[in-house]
Every structure is written in structure tokens, then in C-alpha cells.
Amino acid sequence: MAKGKQTNLYFCQSCGYESAKWMGQCPRCHEWNTFVEEPVKKGDAGSASFRIASAAVSRHGGTLSSDVVLLKDVTLSEGTRMSSGIGELDRVLGGGVMQGSLTLIGGDPGIGKSTLLLQVCRNMAAAGRRILYVSGEESKAQIKMRADRIGDFSGDMNLLCETSLDVISEVLRNMKPDICVIDSIQTMYNEEVSSAPGSVSQVRESTQVLMQLSKILGISVFIVGHVTKEGTVAGPRVLEHMVDTVLYFEGDRHASYRILRGVKNRFGSTNEIGVFEMRSEGLTEVTNPSEYLLDGRPLDSSGSIVSCSMEGTRPILIEIQSLVCRSNLGVPRRQASGVDYNRVNLLMAVLEKRCGMHLGDCDAYVNLTGGMKITEPALDLAIVLAMVSSFKNQSISPDVVAFGEVGLSGEVRTVSQVSQRVSEAVRLGFNTIIVPASTLKEAEKAAGRNTHIIGVSNVREASDHVV
């Protein structure tokens, strides 16, 4: 292709696959109707990311990461962690902010992404770190108004309201901050890419530039990403592959709780979550999410039981509610909130076949309180017992906790980390814990003398114990 020649190419919005012609199905990710046409201008000296990275290397006095070295000669002096001043965020990140890392934070509009990062900047600036907050969506006055609600800012906290990637990269090379926040990646614009901001080409090229600057200069970069109606980060799927860490903010923006979940982390666990509460002064940590989620639980109502789920290394107790009633419709309604809808239908079929309960003409609703979304099979037993309780209209004792996976034969199968689940239930004052029979000995070791541990091998046996 001649130097400076502009042409139109087609890009897959899911994975970033590039094609010279439109295709109905992407050959890489096999998604349908995801190709969009964008004008592209290419030169002969590589992309803008290569040019910017080369300039950063020359000014930094280093070399690109192409030198061959022995693994035993590599030191970890540059791979240090920095505390963000927010314990829940440090937990999700694997122990703190890794130097030279690239972190993507996605979430619904108004969920609190910018507020959380502004609080991180405040804490780290007070700890003596140099901070650069780059906003392409708000003016400096708007950021100042939001910052005043959070608290007083001190230290080396710098603002830059800019969307040009060339200007931002020049500031990063000259300033060399410890932390840089890009809010948001969909507003960044590279002049050498002729497509509009937020397009597949712009997002991919901008992230590539920021990634190379982060690795070469040792800057920890946080990128804010908008999400689509399906809940994924807008732009090409390759964006999530390029960054080191992907965090998602979950929860209803009209409610007070927020859940920060790590779905990718090269420096820690991918199953950790952080729980926050939105207040007028910003986001505050919820250090005991089990107690928070069980607050206001009914004690004498049918269809309600407590179960324990493992989120990374943290056990969380959560209330499961079910409502089963006769239907007046030709096709009964089934609805699940926070759990897999197909899994609920499967468990209802197990109850019909193995316990003789006639649920074919019943409406069924299952809800996880607190807005949590959990797909762990360990909640199966509690969902089954909640539906049995509602169907028979008999309440379950409020001091009962149940967990275990239910198979198609009605058997209750073992789950992982039983000791941590039992210890969390005992800590919050639950006296009766129903566990799979295969884990009975392990559960009894973790429980105290005043705790009654019940081992069950099938759903019929479990329902006889509580209903």
C-alpha cells in the first residue's frame, strides 16, 4: 500500500478482526453481523504506537523489550506494588497496584467508575505519588466539583482535559507520573487513524500506545471503558486481551451497593470481588459483605434460606428467596434474578422426578438478595430447599445454612473450600449447617461444639431435615 494512502476496511466489533470486505460471520470469533466499515490511513513506518513508543524509548534512555536475557538474571525491583488506600480495591487487584500495569475498569453509566478512580488518586497523591488524571469527558471545573464532594486533595495531583493521544503521550513522557487515569478510552483520538473516536481502530490503537508507554516508562495506567447494553466493554474484544487487568463494576446505579469484580488479572486471582456502598461523600468499603447482604432478612417467611458462596478467597453468606405458586396461565412463568435461569429449570425438573413434587403448573421465581449475581453450583442445594419451602408454605429455621451441588439424579455432590464456608457461617451465629455427606468430617472440624452439622446425600433427605 502506498504511503499515506487511505482506504476503507471492515472490523469486527467483538474481536477486532480486520477484513477488506464485509462478512456476515466473523471467521475468528464466529459472531454474526459485527463488521463495521471504517476509513484507515496507513503509512510506511509502522503505526502511531510504534512511533510513540520509539520516542519514549529515546527520551527514557532505554531499549525496547526485545533484548534476550536469562530468566535467572531478571529482577523484580520494578514489579513493586503500591497501595491504593482502598482495601477492597487492593484485594481485587491481588494486593495493590502493580507498577507499570494497565488496568481496564468497565461498568454502566453512573455506577461510580470515575468516583472510585478519583478516590484512588486522592489517596495515592496524599501518599506522595505523582498523579495525572486525564479526562476526555469532563472539564476541570466539573472534576473539581466532584472532587470537593469526596474530600480535600493534597500532594502532586494533576489534571489534563484532552482527547488527543499525541498530546497525552507527550505529557506522559515529560512528566513520568506514577499513576495515570484515562477517562475514558472511547474519547481518545489518534490523528493518524482517520476513523471517529470510539471506533474499533481508534480504541485498539489508543490502547496499544498506552500499553507501550506504561511498560517502558513504568507508569500504572487505569483506563475507564464504557459498556454496551449486553454489559461488555464497548469496542473490540481485543481491548480486554491487551490490558493486564479487567475489572467490572456491577450493581444497580439507583441502589447504594456496588460490586467490583475482577474478570482478568495477570497479577492475582480472577475471582475476587470488592463490595462498596455509594454515599454522598463517595464510595465506602463494605468490609463485612455477609452481614451487609443479610441485613433485613425475614425470619419466619417460607421460601427463604441462607447459603454460602466463595468469591475468590472470601466466603459470602447470601439469602436465597423463592416463590412457587399455582399458575393461571397456559404456560407457567419462570424467572430468576442473580442465578442462572436454565439452572433453576433443571433443579425444578430434579424435584419433579426425584421428590414427586408437581411443579409443571406452577409459577416459580428465584431471587438472590442484594443484587448479587452468582453462578456457582454450590448454591444448588439452597435453591432447591427454598423452592420446597415455598411450595409447601413452610418456613425454614432462620439459623440454617445450606450449600452443595445437586446432580441430575438428585444427589448432593461435594463443593470446594468447605472449611471456609462453615467458619463464616459459624462466625455470623448460624447453628445448623447442611453440607454434602462426603464433606461431613471436614465441616465438623471447622465448626464449633455448639454447631449442628448435617450431612445429606440427596435432595429428598435434605428437604426432610428442614421442611
Residue 67 vs residue 225, higher pLDDT: 225
**Strands 245-250 vs 102-107: parallel, antiparallel or unpaired:** parallel
**How many CB atoms are closer than 10 A to CB 398?**
17
Query: Which of 128-132, 180-184, 279-283 is predicted least confidently?
Result: 279-283
pLDDT per residue as tens digits for the range 131-153: 999 999 899 999 999 899 898 89
- The residues, ordered by sequence, that sit 6+ positions from 133 with a Cβ below 8 Å of its Cβ are 117, 118, 121, 143, 157, 158, 159, 160, 180, 181, 183
Which pLDDT belongs to residue 233? 65
3-state secondary structure at position 147 = helix
Region 441-465: what's the mean pLDDT?
A: 91
Cell of 158: 494533576
pLDDT at 419 over 90: yes
Q: Write the DSSP symbol of residue 272.
A: -
Separation between Cα atoms, residue 198 and residue 11, nearest integer Å: 13
3-state secondary structure at position 247 = strand
Which pLDDT belongs to residue 295? 85
pLDDT at 75 over 60: yes
Which pLDDT belongs to residue 39? 74
Which pLDDT belongs to residue 229? 61
% residues pLDDT > 70 (the chain)? 89
3-state secondary structure at position 177 = coil
Alpha helices in 237-371 (DSSP H): 238-242, 289-293, 341-355
CA angle 335, 341, 343 (to 5 degrees): 135
Separation between Cα atoms, residue 400 and residue 320, nearest integer Å: 12
Q: 436 has which bridge partners? A: 456
Separation between Cα atoms, residue 381 and residue 393, nearest integer Å: 18
pLDDT at 2 over 60: no
% residues pLDDT > 90 (the chain)? 52
First to last CA, the chain: 74
Which pLDDT belongs to residue 372? 82
Which pLDDT belongs to residue 308? 95
Q: Which of 184, 209, 187 is nearest to 196 (CA)?
A: 187
pLDDT classification of 41: cutoffs 50, 70, 90: low
Whether residue 282 contacts residue 119, with contact meaning beta carbons closer than 8 Å, is answered with: yes
Burial of 339 (0-12, 13-18, 19+ CB in 10 A): buried
pLDDT classification of 241: cutoffs 50, 70, 90: confident
pLDDT per residue as tens digits for the range 363-384: 999 999 887 888 899 999 999 9
Which pLDDT belongs to residue 172? 94
Alpha helices in 243-283 (DSSP H): none
Rounded to the nearest integer, the mean pLDDT of the chain is 86
**Strands 432-436 vs 400-402: parallel, antiparallel or unpaired:** parallel
pLDDT at 44 over 50: no
**Strands 362-368 vs 314-326: parallel, antiparallel or unpaired:** antiparallel
**How many CB atoms are closer than 10 A to CB 32?**
10
pLDDT at 45 over 50: no
pLDDT classification of 456: cutoffs 50, 70, 90: very high
Residues in the chain: 467
Separation between Cα atoms, residue 273 and residue 374, nearest integer Å: 12
**Strands 245-250 vs 220-225: parallel, antiparallel or unpaired:** unpaired
Query: Which of 124-138, 144-158, 248-262, 426-440 is predicted least confidently?
Result: 248-262
Handedness of CA 104, 108, 114, 115 (dihedral sign): negative
- The residues, ordered by sequence, that sit 6+ positions from 394 with a Cβ below 8 Å of its Cβ are 302, 467
pLDDT at 40 over 90: no
Which pLDDT belongs to residue 203? 86
Q: Which of 314, 313, 270 is nearest to 292 (CA)?
A: 314
| CA atoms within 13 A of residue 167's CA, in its CB half-sphere | 12
pLDDT per residue as tens digits for the range 23-37: 999 888 888 888 888
Region 316-327: what's the mean pLDDT?
A: 94
Which pLDDT belongs to residue 46? 45
pLDDT at 65 over 60: no
3-state secondary structure at position 339 = coil
3-state secondary structure at position 106 = strand
pLDDT at 159 over 90: yes
pLDDT classification of 63: cutoffs 50, 70, 90: very low
Cell of 407: 446432580
**How many CB atoms are closer than 10 A to CB 343?**
17
What strands lie across the sheet with 334-337, from one edge to the other? 334-337, 362-368, 314-326, 304-311, 400-402, 432-436, 452-456
